[in-house]
Each structure stands twice: as C-alpha cells, then as structure tokens.
Structure 1
C-alpha cells in the first residue's frame, strides 16, 4: 500500500463523519453515554468478527497495554464529549467547533519522528479553518452565550481527537485490528456512566433506531478502522487538512435534512476549504517520498 493510497483510505472516514451530526440528532432524546455504549458495541463486535475472519486475533495479544489505553481514551473521550456538546449547543455550531481537530493534527504532527510541517501545510490548514469558521459565523444562530458550555466541550473534542490521531501514528506497529478492542473497551466504560448519571431513554420510532444502527456501523464503527490506516501509513498533514471537508459536508447534510438553515456563506466556505486542501497537497508533493 502506497502513502497516497493509505491517505485515500483514511479520507473515507471523513466522508462517514460528515454523517455523524445528522445521525446523532436523529437519535434524540437518547443520552450521550447510552449512545456511546450501543454504538461502540456495534462497531467493536463488527470489528472483532472481521479480525477473527482474517485470522488476526492472535496479533492482539502482543500489543502493549499502553496502546490499548491510548486508543480507548481517545475513542471514549472524544465521543462522550461530542455527544454531550450536541446536547448542550446547536448541532451545526457544536459540530463545527469540534472539527478544529484537523488544524491541530497538522500542528501536532510536527512533533512526530520523520515528519516535517511545511509552510504550505499550515497555510492550507489555516485556510480550511477559515472556511469552517465562516460557516459557524454565518450559521442560522451563530454563537450565543447560553451555549458556552457546549462550545467549550466541543473544543475539548477537537483536542482529544487530534491527540489520539497523532499518538496513533507513533504506535504505527500496532495492527488496525486493535481498534475493535478500543471500541469494546469504550462501550464498557460508557455503560456504568450511563447507569450512574443518565436515565435510559431509547430513540423514538423506526427512524431513531435506524439512526442509532447507522451511527454504530459507520461514523462510530468503520470510520475508526480506515482512519487508523490513514494516520499510520498515509500523509498525516494532507489527511488532516483534507478533513476540513467534513464540517462542510456535515453542514450540507444538516441543511439537506432540515436540521440547520442554509446560508450564503456556504459557497465561500467551500472555496476556502477546497483551496486549503489544494495548498496542503502542493506542500506534500514537494516533500521527498
């Protein structure tokens, strides 16, 4: 597998995450930790079945416990914060603040051995961030003081996921099958917190249950496996910058579903985000392979 093939595989996760906000809203009024429990259980069981089918279960025993700790903290922490943010602030604004993680990945990747952050990477990431920020400021509601807690939690999402992604690169020898264990461990952590702090409320109607199933199969399932391949074997700076397509796509999906109102700033945001990805790609092409 080449570096660019791995980057393309990683980008599949971005396409799946564009549906995260929509499916999360569709599961209302199910509380965050219950969502975590069910979705991670679906993703983890599917991943474990795939691991067994490919004969890779034995490889999991040789993985250091620190890798399992890092992965579990990343998956559990990010999504617990993400689901909470979407309950405490409007879906479009909270989701887009959470998508600060691509810019942080580009910045943090400079700490990795053998990686170099070029000016083009930073310029591309900053341009993409400008596009995302324009969507936020041009949204149907904009920032409102009563949602400050939700905005703060959404920023912690960005910090958590960017840290997890960069640390995954450092644990590059660990097989992608470990993601199944991360998911199952995150489900086990979420269940007692749900029982302690939340009331059990399930999705409403067939549409709510369908949203829950799709959430576990895609954005909180398959996405983690392809993302693991991308950040470990692909161009992490380019992948981070290209990930700014997710907030744009996420907002377009919310608009199409009637959850968020359309805004003229979306077109300008699309140009900025696309331009940022192009700038970062040019910087990546200049690096020695």
Structure 2
C-alpha cells in the first residue's frame, strides 16, 4: 500500500473513531426518550436514506453475488443485533460497565480474524491491545456507579461485543468484492429490516418525543452510522480486522472527553489515566516494527594462494 493510501486509510479510521465516540454520548441522550429497538430502527432508517441517496448520485449498482453472504451476516449481526443489544444494555448498566464489557469486542475480533481469515498479527498488536484493554478497564471502573451491575445488562453488552466482532470479520471478505459504500449501504438496510418489528414502537414514541431527541436519533443515523460505517469499511478494506479493532480502543478515551462538556460529567484523575492508556495502546498496536539493518560482515577472507606449477620450482 502506498504512503498516500495509508494516510487516507488512517484518516478514515480516525473519522470513524471520533464519530463512534460521539454516538455513545448521543445514545445516552436519545435513549432517555426512545426504547432500544425503536432507537436502533430510527437510526438505521436515517442512515439508509442518506446512504441510498449517495448511491443514486454515484450510480452504485448492486454488490456482486459473491459479496452478499458477508454483507448479510454483517447487517444482521452488527447493524441489527449489536445496535439493539447495546442500546438495551446501556439501560441496564452504567456507561463505565458497558464500555468495559463491549471492549471485549476488539480482542474477539483479532482472534476470529486470525482463525477464520488467516490474518497475521503484527508483533506489537497483542501488546498494544493489552495496554488499551487495561485502559478500558480503568475507565470502566472509574466511571461505574456505586450500585451493583445488572446481570442482564452485562450479558447484553457481552452479546453486543460478540456480534460486533463477528460482524466485522464477516464484512472483511465482502470488502474485497464490493465497494465500501455498497457494503455499508446494504448492511445497514439489512439491519433495518431486522429491526422492523420495532416499527410500531418507533411510530408511537416519535409522536410524543421532543424534537431534540428525534434530531439526535437522526444525527446518529447520518454521522455515526452512514458516514462512520463507510469510513470504517474503507479503512478495513486496506488493513487487517485485528488492527482496525485495536483502533477502536481510542473510543472510551474520546467518550470521556466528549461527556465532559456535553453531559457535564467531569472525569477524575483515574478516568483520565485510563483514557491515556487507551490512546497509548492504540499507538503501540498501529506502530510498525522497523527492521534493523543487517550488520555487514567485516571479516576478510584471505585470497587463496595460487598454486605454483611444478616446472617453475
């Protein structure tokens, strides 16, 4: 991959991480009005509308048949199941516990990608993921409330993490056969179909919801879904699933910083330290090992003495 392509992929991954971090703040706000399934459906429908318009403008056709299996699995697991489970889980446990459990996802992603896709783990990836996971644990413990965590909430967040990891691994092969926009658009559309049973709840809750909550739900569909999922797919097509998963460990640190002005949640020293660990781990996992130049062999081999002809003795 050329240097320019690498920079574009890194930029796309950065956009994804920032927008996904903002989604956690927005979900907590809109989740006070909309139920988990209704919020997931409204978010996905908003994203599909935006993505569909972009596809029409760009004249993107249907993905090839060989890509549909990965798109369908990713749409059901990630766009559909993950979104509902995470929305529901955050209602049952505090944000810190949710962030801690969901961050099992990148670890599962790296293991699944290595096992199923044959991805080779870079030497520094496991170390970077370990540092980031320690940071996520620190953030989770520092932000967790005093009450006990709901077992149902923990199970829901764990199921969301498994669906997230499996969805990404299923999406990776499809990106080799279809464009990032095609994979994202049809994955979100399939996720919306999965969430259609919540259409009645969405219509009922939208009728009495304040405009700010509805706009927040629409923004979730436009930015963290339509835009961020597309930039994610673009970056994932140009790197391994494990490396991309490690990048998302920056999300808890950014959530802490965004919650400060948006929700008035002032982070403590332990929370900031955990966020710094998350970012440090991402930096380590995405760094490359520079091979040392081989030492030149300075041992001189003495030239062989010429054999003297017997007649010249």
1:23 lines up with 2:53 in the alignment: no
More deviation, 151-160/109-118:
109-118
**Cα deviation, residue 64, structure 1:** 4.4
1:253 lines up with 2:258 in the alignment: yes
Q: What is the DSSP-based 3-state SS (H/G/I as helix, E as strand, rest coil) of the residue aligned with 2:71?
A: helix
Q: What is the DSSP-based 3-state SS (H/G/I as helix, E as strand, rest coil) of the residue aligned with 2:276?
A: helix
Structure 2 runs not aligned, ≥5 long = 292-313
Corresponding residue for residue 60 of structure 1? 63
1:78 lines up with 2:82 in the alignment: yes
Structure 1 runs not aligned, ≥5 long = none
Q: 238, 243, 246: which is aligned to 1:238? A: 243
Q: What is the DSSP-based 3-state SS (H/G/I as helix, E as strand, rest coil) of the residue aligned with 2:205?
A: coil
More deviation, 186-195/60-69:
60-69
For the structure 1 residues 103 and 81, does the alpha-carbon distance in structure 2 shift closer, same or farther, using more than 3 Å as the test? Answer: same
Quick one: distance in 2 between partners of 1:211 and 1:198? Answer: 14
1:127 lines up with 2:131 in the alignment: yes
TM-score of the two chains, using structure 1 as the length reference: 0.87
1:117 lines up with 2:111 in the alignment: no
Root-mean-square deviation (CA, aligned residues, Å) is 2.4
TM-score of the two chains, using structure 2 as the length reference: 0.81
Corresponding residue for residue 212 of structure 1? 217
More deviation, 261-270/157-166:
261-270
1:183 lines up with 2:191 in the alignment: no
Q: What is the DSSP-based 3-state SS (H/G/I as helix, E as strand, rest coil) of the residue aligned with 2:34?
A: coil
Aligned counterparts, 1:73-222, within 5 A: 73=76, 74-111=78-115, 113=117, 115-141=119-145, 144-171=147-174, 172-176=176-180, 177-195=182-200, 200-202=204-206, 204-222=209-227
**Cα deviation, residue 259, structure 1:** 6.0
Corresponding residue for residue 265 of structure 1? 270
**Cα deviation, residue 219, structure 1:** 1.4
Contact kept, 8 Å, 1:86 with 1:95, in 2: the verdict is no
**Cα deviation, residue 213, structure 1:** 1.6
Quick one: distance in 1 between partners of 2:199 and 2:59? Answer: 34
The one of the two structures with greater contact order (alpha-carbon pairs below 8 A, sep at least 6) is 1
For the structure 1 residues 213 and 40, does the alpha-carbon distance in structure 2 shift closer, same or farther, using more than 3 Å as the test? Answer: same
For the structure 1 residues 145 and 282, does the alpha-carbon distance in structure 2 shift closer, same or farther, using more than 3 Å as the test? Answer: same
Q: How many residues align?
A: 283
